């Protein structure tokens, strides 16, 4: 196992730790495939405050990549810049080789990159079932003439029937089918997290960014959700970037792990190497170790 401190374009140092990388192949970026998501020198300023300061990292295809760091490290702001909630002050976000920095959230989602939020954002006055039914894009019934003209109405009904079946499957998997007719705003915090993840998956994304998805979720369902994530990676080729404060989840299920500190990427590599990295221990774990 090797550990190297690599200078980024803005002059900061990031510990990049590769597991068993042969010396003659390390750094052969010219032949490596373009990762589905790559962040390059990302910077976001709010007035005189720099929340993200030249962060650069890549998320490999079909990986479950963990993104950790202390409160205020810039993780959620990075998510917001990637998904179009915030427009970056500088830098680039490449989705399948295309720079999407500054695009609107709906455009980013339409291109296959979807996120959940640290605080769930359900449509509170609609039912759980309706929240999921609305999620898929480009439904035929959203076009006025297709929804009212007899020539097209049968196609709309057929699509809605198939969608409803898919929604019930999702509700059953996330164990919220008994809440289908409840208003989303009446759910508990953990139930809203489940609804948000189910709704995100109903959009059929290629890359899913999860912002603390397990907060408020009971341990047995947490295990099921992790199994589901791994199933989606293996069977459907989905790629995940996960922000989570539970270090057991990160260290047991994510590889690689990216560590942010003060808006920069401090280190990245396999979980065991991250756990034993002195810079990470000093900046993140502190007195916990």
Assigned domain for 69 exists: yes
What is the pLDDT at residue 153?
57
Write out pLDDT tens, residues 91-126. Answer: 999 999 999 999 999 999 999 999 988 777 787 889
Assigned domain for 44 exists: yes
- Is the pTM for the entire model greater than 0.85? no
Mark whether 64 and 76 lie in a shared domain.
yes
Write out pLDDT tens, residues 128-177. Answer: 999 998 876 655 555 554 555 566 556 666 667 778 888 888 888 888 89
Residue 278: which CATH number?
3.40.50.300
CB atoms inside a 10 Å sphere around CB 27: 13
Mark whether 284 and 151 lie in a shared domain.
no
Domain that holds residue 177: 124-186
Mark whether 118 and 211 lie in a shared domain.
yes
Answer whether 69's CB lies under 8 Å from 284's CB: yes
Domain count across the chain: 2
């Amino acid at each position: 196992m090797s550990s190297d401190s690599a200078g980024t374009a803005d002059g900061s140092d990031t510990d990049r730790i590769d597991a068993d990388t042969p010396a003659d192949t390390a750094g052969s970026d010219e032949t490596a495939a373009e990762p589905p998501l790559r962040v390059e020198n990302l910077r976001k300023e709010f007035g005189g405050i720099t929340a993200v300061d030249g962060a650069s990292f890549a998320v490999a295809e079909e990986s479950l990549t963990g993104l950790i760091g202390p409160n205020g490290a810039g993780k959620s702001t990075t998510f917001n810049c990637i998904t179009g909630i915030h427009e970056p002050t500088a830098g680039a976000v490449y989705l399948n080789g295309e720079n999407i920095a500054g695009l609107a959230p709906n455009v980013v989602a339409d291109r296959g990159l979807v996120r959940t939020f640290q605080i769930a954002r359900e449509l509170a006055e609609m039912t759980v079932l309706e929240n999921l039914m609305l999620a898929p894009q480009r439904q035929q019934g959203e076009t006025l003439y297709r929804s009212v003209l007899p020539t097209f109405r049968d196609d709309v009904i057929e699509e809605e029937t198939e969608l409803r079946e898919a929604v019930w499957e999702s509700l059953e998997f996330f164990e919220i089918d008994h809440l289908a007719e409840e208003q989303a705003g009446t759910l508990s915090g953990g139930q809203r997290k489940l609804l948000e993840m189910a709704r995100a998956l109903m959009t059929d994304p290629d890359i899913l960014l999860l912002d603390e998805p397990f907060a408020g979720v009971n341990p047995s369902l947490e295990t099921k959700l992790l199994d589901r994530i791994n199933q989606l990676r293996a069977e459907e080729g989905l790629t995940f970037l996960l922000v989570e404060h539970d270090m057991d989840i990160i260290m047991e299920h994510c590889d690689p792990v990216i560590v942010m500190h003060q808006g920069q990427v401090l280190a990245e590599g396999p979980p065991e190497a991250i756990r034993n990295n002195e810079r990470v221990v000093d900046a993140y774990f502190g007195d916990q170790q």
